[in-house]
Structure 1
Amino acid sequence: MSDDRLSTLVSLPPLQALTRGLIPGDIVIDGQFRPAGGAARFAVENPADGQEIGQVADGSVADGLAAMDAAASAAAGWAARSPRARSDILRRCFELMALHEAWFAELVSLENGKILSDALGEVRYAAEFFRWNAEEAVRIPGEIGVSPNGGYSIVVGHQPVGVSILVTPWNFPAAMVTRKVAPALAAGCTCVLKPAAETPFTALALAVLMEAAGVPPGVVNIVPTTRPGPVVDAMMHHAAARMLSFTGSTGVGRKLLKGAADQVLKSSMELGGNAPFIVLADADLDQAVAGAMVAKMRNGGQACTAANRFIVHQRLYEPFCTRITAAMEALRVGPGTDPLSECGPLIHAGAVDKVDALVQDALSKGARLRTGGVRPNRVGAFYPPTVLVDVPRNARLLREEIFGPVVAVMSCQSDDEAIALANDTEFGLVAYLFTADKGRGMRIAPRIESGMLALNRGLVSDPAAPFGGVKQSGLGREGGQHGILEFLETRYVATTF
């Protein structure tokens, strides 16, 4: 384990590195890159053109269990490391990722499809989780108190929860890995990561980076697979399993929670969203439109935080619709790796099918099309930036995550109506609110059922802030001081001094 593998890896552009096999397309168990048990492999494609960029080992149940064994064997040694020692390794992970950020951004764009500016933003965001948790590792809280009867002291501390299973999605293949791995390592936990089959190479490249930073063998194990259901289920039922951290759809989250119940695993769930974007009558229109483009078009709308339902006061409704349509029409659609592209492809053809079905459903029920809405006749999983106005309340896209570049606008007559429309969903991840009166915004904020709210801005994610939702958008928090606590158990000792 040294910097040699990482230096060799980043010496070539990602596509050349993939072609030459420098990004290991294998399972990572106990610090070793190795083929899947049955030698099965699967192809990873660039969504911009459907071309294969490489093949990855297709992990089996046996591979998942072997990874759990490795994590269990490494657990005691890693937990015994001092907080400072763990912190120094995480800090080195940050430094290496910052040093090679352009390379990682190109890799993210290549296998995920997002435009280079979004990919670079993601890589920088991902690196910050290493830095933030390097700092949190040495600040794990504790308490000392006196029992009410004065007979003894109450000493409260925290200890690592243990072997953690981390399941990440394809839409942020770098950030969702570091947002889970970094706090797990900072807390003293070992882990098994199951990255999305659509984007496994970013996770595997991060494995090379982490070994170069000094992460010991067995502390981070990675099992790519096209059979996530049985593999993750087997890992959850492994005797050493203590924690499950999942980011993905609410439907899959429900199934995983049922499986986690068998082992009474501590569970953190970052699930689906249906974010409302509220524009009140006094909002600054320029600010609202600029915020809408950020909230909607980050990663081409393929984010759980993406604005899904635009609720605009009647006073600003037509001007907002006109301005947002012009902004969407102006976007240049193209491959993510093209520096001129402003809207890349969706992750695959199936995603295009889903987005188009939602748009056609809304149109069939009375929505009006301002721009887009027609699948382009071109290679790749592209869908045009689309604006729908006067969207009826029974349209599917008001109930389901769009996960694409579609703005769906409806009007409201009052603050109370806007709040009612915003809360009319089973989800509650994030909401966006625009008003010229911040006091008004702060009074409205508690009435909106969401775990996060962005007031007069289109971006809410920050490694220093607790990320998570309410209702069926999840359990627990990632990031901030709360993120590391998900990987810790509270321990109380009664004693006398």
Structure 2
Amino acid sequence: MNERESALLASVQNKLFIGGEWVDASGGGTFDVRDPATGEVIHSIADATPEDGIRALDAAVAAQDAWAATAPRTRSDILRRAWELVQQHKDDLALIMTLEMGKPYAEALGEVTYGGEFLRWFSEEAVRITGRYGLNPEGTGRIIVAQRPVGPSFFITPWNFPLAMATRKIAPALAAGCTVVVKPAQLTPLTTVFFTQLLVEAGLPAGVVNIVTSSSSNKVAAPIIADPRLRKLSFTGSTEVGRKLIAQAADGVLRVSMELGGNAPFVVFEDADLDKAVDGAIAAKFRNIGEACTAANRFIVHESVADEFAARVTERVTAMKIGRGTEDGVTIGPLIDDDAVSKASELVADAARRGATITTGGHRLDGAGTFFEPTVLTGVRPGSSILREEIFGPVLAIATFDTEDEAVRLANDTEYGLVSYVFTQDLARGHRMIDRLETGMMGLNVGVLSNAAAPFGGVKQSGVGREGGFEGIHEYLSTKYTLLPVS
């Protein structure tokens, strides 16, 4: 690490944040955070125990009534100041993300912009929570419908977007009047901790946000989820873990928001603008090194344009620069850990054994770090694991189709339903795809669609609930109906 990196990391707290104070873990333990580009330990941070998790929930419960009673404008102003501080510290946040997660610095800056927008959006939504008032149809009473905060909430955030996944949950909860406990991912806790330091600077009252970093998510999470005082659980991560959390939440009948796995189809029709389709493919596949639930997973390309599409994307992918995300011009950083590299290797090897052609890449890089070459596969055969499993790596796998019905069948042939991408210049066909593809989101002639003003979420086993947009704040509100007699 250079002097700038060392000084910045030294400014990141290494403790838990509970009840407005930075405190050691009750057991005194810590765990290491490593740079995936080098394997080097870059920070050690408090390792929370289950008892620490309950202490954090205690603090959230104690602060709930006062925070719910806080004027919406006050909550809005705090979120707005937090957004301003994120902009002021965008270089710091981006560098921390690059060091602990590996994404190229330019992409990390993009995440700061994206993640910050949830603070700005929900600062504006905090003052727009509404109900309704009116006469009932019988004329015998007046109906009052009000929205109230759900209550203390628990968030488990993933490692791949450590700022945006925190702000996407924290901002609407605070805007709605809920207090929160956050358990950031073991692999990337530093961005969330630094962001919390900015929340404190923005004037957040003690106990409203509590942070428990831990090397064992389940041990800390289980007692919190089982506590009857908790009213909301939100998780972003794998479908496998999400199912287990939903089962745990069932005992307390908790409100849940689950943003789970994806297996996004990227459909290119014969009339597509190939310039736009190739640009969209590169963005949809290689953003965040392919480690995104919205990453295109299955490229379903009409057989008449498949060869040209494959040649163009192969040329673009071959030119990508691999390296540590802090280096100039790097577009592909390391994968998060050895397991991610092994999975990418296995999926590519399986596809090749079944007849796919590797046109570029396909291997782990020797030396330090967890680097995997950006890869293009053509002629991927039915039954290949890469068509069923979420890749979470820089591998672009192309299969072909003949008819529109076949494209729809291939796109929907998955248990997941988060996002789809369609490239066609036929407006009527585009509208048919909106209706026929079984996903919660769709990009029509675009390769990146996430936006704080839009509802993010999926169908089928990609989750429940929505984050962002007008819909996002309602995940943290409960509806209360009162009837008044007509006097």
Alignment of 1:48-87 (within 5 A): 48-87=37-76
Residue 434 (structure 1) aligned with residue 423 (structure 2):
yes
Could you tell me whether the CA contact under 8 Å between 1:15 and 1:107 is conserved in 2? no
Secondary structure in 2 aligned to 1:137? helix
Within the candidate set 188, 211, 230, 1:199 is matched to 188
Residue 348 (structure 1) aligned with residue 340 (structure 2):
no
Please report the RMSD computed on the Cα atoms of aligned residues, expressed in angstroms.
0.9
* Unpaired runs of at least 5, structure 2: none
Q: Where does residue 248 of structure 2 map in the other structure?
A: 259
Q: What is the Cα deviation at residue 14 of structure 1? A: 4.4
Q: Where does residue 6 of structure 2 map in the other structure?
A: 15
Amino acid at match of 1:136: E
Distance in 2 between residues matched to 1:46 and 1:252, nearest whole Å: 25
Q: What does the per-residue CA deviation read over 1:29-60, in whole Å, with 9 as the maximum and x for residues that have no partner? A: 01111111101110000000000000011111
Aligned length: 484
Q: Where does residue 118 of structure 1 map in the other structure?
A: 107
Q: What is the Cα deviation at residue 421 of structure 1? A: 0.3
Alignment of 1:418-433 (within 5 A): 418-433=407-422
Residue 268 (structure 1) aligned with residue 265 (structure 2):
no
Distance in 2 between residues matched to 1:366 and 1:317, nearest whole Å: 16
Amino acid at match of 2:457: G
Distance in 2 between residues matched to 1:43 and 1:117, nearest whole Å: 25
Q: Where does residue 401 of structure 1 map in the other structure?
A: 390
Could you tell me whether the CA contact under 8 Å between 1:14 and 1:103 is conserved in 2? no
Q: Where does residue 134 of structure 2 map in the other structure?
A: 145
Secondary structure in 1 aligned to 2:247? helix
Within the candidate set 470, 480, 485, 1:481 is matched to 470
Between stretches 455-464 and 140-149, larger displacement belongs to 140-149
Alignment of 1:12-411 (within 5 A): 13-18=4-9, 21-411=10-400
Could you tell me whether the CA contact under 8 Å between 2:8 and 2:92 is conserved in 1? no
Secondary structure in 2 aligned to 1:193? strand
Distance in 1 between residues matched to 2:355 and 2:72, nearest whole Å: 59
Amino acid at match of 1:458: G
Q: What is the Cα deviation at residue 22 of structure 1? A: 2.0
Distance in 1 between residues matched to 2:334 and 2:142, nearest whole Å: 60
Q: Where does residue 442 of structure 2 map in the other structure?
A: 453
Q: What is the Cα deviation at residue 227 of structure 1? A: 1.0
* Unpaired runs of at least 5, structure 1: 1-11
Q: Where does residue 9 of structure 1 map in the other structure?
A: none
User: Identity of counterpart residues, as a percentage?
Assistant: 51
Secondary structure in 2 aligned to 1:362? helix
Q: What does the per-residue CA deviation read over 1:175-194, in whole Å, with 9 as the maximum and x for residues that have no partner? A: 00000000000000000000
Q: What is the Cα deviation at residue 100 of structure 1? A: 1.3
Amino acid at match of 1:71: A
Secondary structure in 1 aligned to 2:417? coil
Between stretches 432-441 and 409-418, larger displacement belongs to 432-441
Distance in 2 between residues matched to 1:283 and 1:400, nearest whole Å: 27
Secondary structure in 2 aligned to 1:25? coil
Q: What does the per-residue CA deviation read over 1:88-126, in whole Å, with 9 as the maximum and x for residues that have no partner? A: 000000011011111111111111100011100001101
Distance in 1 between residues matched to 2:190 and 2:23, nearest whole Å: 14
TM-score normalised by structure 1 residue count: 0.96
Distance in 2 between residues matched to 1:312 and 1:381, nearest whole Å: 31
Deviating beyond 2 angstroms after TM superposition, the runs of 4 or more aligned structure 1 residues are 12-15
Secondary structure in 2 aligned to 1:263? coil
Distance in 1 between residues matched to 2:464 and 2:394, nearest whole Å: 27
Q: What is the Cα deviation at residue 156 of structure 1? A: 0.8
Amino acid at match of 2:311: T
Distance in 2 between residues matched to 1:438 and 1:106, nearest whole Å: 42
Distance in 2 between residues matched to 1:446 and 1:356, nearest whole Å: 35
Could you tell me whether the CA contact under 8 Å between 2:297 and 2:390 is conserved in 1? yes
Q: What does the per-residue CA deviation read over 1:305-348, in whole Å, with 9 as the maximum and x for residues that have no partner? A: 00000000011110001001111101000101113201111011
